[in-house]
Structure 1
């Protein structure tokens, strides 16, 4: 049995990016991931027990709470694709059913805490995480961040890049039908307390600026995954009580070292 995103996962023993069983299961039972190359069930809206939806590539995903299963209908997926990105929608649904908050984000570790990195699809989240990993800041998650109470849960042990990073100094391999370069991450503590929030922006100069609590709460509310499911207001308030920063940087590989130094100084200065 493997683990990621706080799930105990059966059926993915061949996926090397998932850790051996080390986390308690969501909802008290494992999730079995299956693949079937047969006609899928019709789409169905998300409810408290089941979700069936068509994915961007035409496959259908059926997540069934009662049976503890997540079934992909369509051509078989390779192990590297199951690690990322196809496990992410399963993790979002199951964790939201378990009343955990999830965000399209990544997270790295600084001073024993998880710092969550948020931004749009081309905001450079994975690039920043890979650069931080190369500078000895452990990466906790890429693509999806799951918050259980005040903790962030570890994701699959990889970061996928659209293009090479000059001077990265860490080995990568081609994955996802030759569309990505995968950086394999070492094992990490499976859950760590939230340190704070970092919102990525592109700009002409490098800067880190604080985000006030009210603005931070508003941003977190709008960036929740599956907002049609209810959230605990007190849990969101607790998450928004952590520090928040806007990180602006130029689209220039040469600024990665300076970004690392500036970010480290800002986060160290925010520690209690």
Structure 2
């Protein structure tokens, strides 16, 4: 079976951008993903047992908690888009039902700990993660970050770029009807301990500015996926107990090396203090 985002997934054996497991890793939630070319059920609000969501492309996604199923209604989806972006809404709902926090974010690994990268859709999250991967920095997730009991869970083994990164040494392939360039990531541990939070901004720099604990808690609470579902205040406080930084850097490909050096130096110093 395939794995990603803390899910043990049946029905996506052909999706090679996901992890693979002969048995369910500890803590993974079983999900069966199906596709149906049939009339979809009408949209329904999220409740304790079922969710029906109309997707932006006109397809409908139905999730049922009792049997762990996720069904896409509409034209068949190719394997590349099932890995990303269509698995993301499945992962968000299933993990929020499980009491985990999820964020629209990515994560990279420094000294065995996961650092979560957050920002708007135009903040350059995927660009930064691909550049870090090109510099032998392990990337744990792109697009969705799932936090569970102090750990960050691994996502699909790919990063999608809107445009090429000059000098990127990693191979890419066209996906999503050639609207994205996909970087394939190596296998990685299914979960790693959370190291901290990095919020992306454009500007001069690169520079890292600490985010205070109260401000960090406010930001994380506001960025939770499906905020209509209750969260454990103690769990949010624990997440905000890790260090947070604003990372400001210019819109310049040439600044990627300096950004990597700044992250490495700062996070190494933090690790030496803990």
TM-score range, shorter chain: over 0.9
Give CA deviations for 1:173-216 in whole Å, capped at 9, x if unaligned.
00001100000000011100000000000013321100011100
Give per-residue Cα distances to partners, 1:70-89, cap 9 Å, x unaligned: 00001000000000000000
Residue in structure 2 matching 1:24, options 3, 23, 26: 26
Alignment-derived partner of residue 61 in structure 2: 61
**C-alpha distance in 1 between matches for 2:60 and 2:227:** 21
Q: CA deviation at 1:23?
A: 2.1
CA distance in structure 1 between the partners assigned to 2:19 and 2:209 by the alignment: 36
Contact 1:8–1:24 (CA under 8 A) maintained in structure 2: no
- Asked if 2 retains the 8 angstrom alpha-carbon contact of 1:7 and 1:24, the reply is no
1:93 maps to: 93
Q: Which runs of 5+ in 2 are unaligned?
A: none
State the number of aligned residues. Answer: 270
Q: Contact 1:108–1:115 at 8 Å: present in 2 too? A: yes
Equivalent residue for 2:244?
Answer: 244
* Alpha-carbon displacement from aligned partner over 1:148-168 (angstroms, at most 9, x marks no partner): 110000000000000000111
Residues 56-78 of structure 1 deviation map (CA, whole Å, 9 limit, x = unaligned):
10100001111210000010000
Q: Deviations over 1:202-251 (max 9, x none)?
A: 01332110001110000000000000001001111111010100000000
Could you tell me how far apart the structure 2 residues matched to 1:158 and 1:23 are? Answer: 20
1:26/1:95 contact within 8 Å kept: no
Give the RMSD, CA atoms, in angstroms: 0.9
State whether structure 2 residue 118 is matched by structure 1 residue 115.
no
Q: Report the secondary structure of 1:67's partner residue.
A: coil
**SS, match of residue 182 in structure 2:** strand
Paired position in structure 2 for 1:193: 193
Aligned to 2:42: 42
1:231 and 2:257 matched: no
Cα deviation code 1:115-145 (max 9, x no counterpart): 0000000000000000000111100000000
Aligned partner of residue 264 in structure 1, secondary structure: helix
Runs of 4+ in structure 1 over 6 Å off: none
Asked if 1:203 is matched to 2:203, the reply is yes
Any conservation in 2 of the 1:114–1:196 contact (CA below 8 Å)? Answer: yes
Q: Determine helix, strand or coil for the equivalent of 1:75.
A: coil
Matched-pair contact (CA < 8 Å) for 1:146–1:153:
yes
1:25 Cα deviation (Å)?
Answer: 5.1
Query: 1:172, CA displacement in angstroms?
Result: 0.3
- The SS at the match of 2:168 is coil
**Deviations 1:14-70, CA, capped at 9 Å, x for gaps:** 00011112523545xx20000001110000000110100100101000011112100
TM-score by length of 1: 0.98
Q: Deviations over 1:78-123 (max 9, x none)?
A: 0000000000000000000000000000000000000000000000
Unaligned 5+ runs, structure 1: none
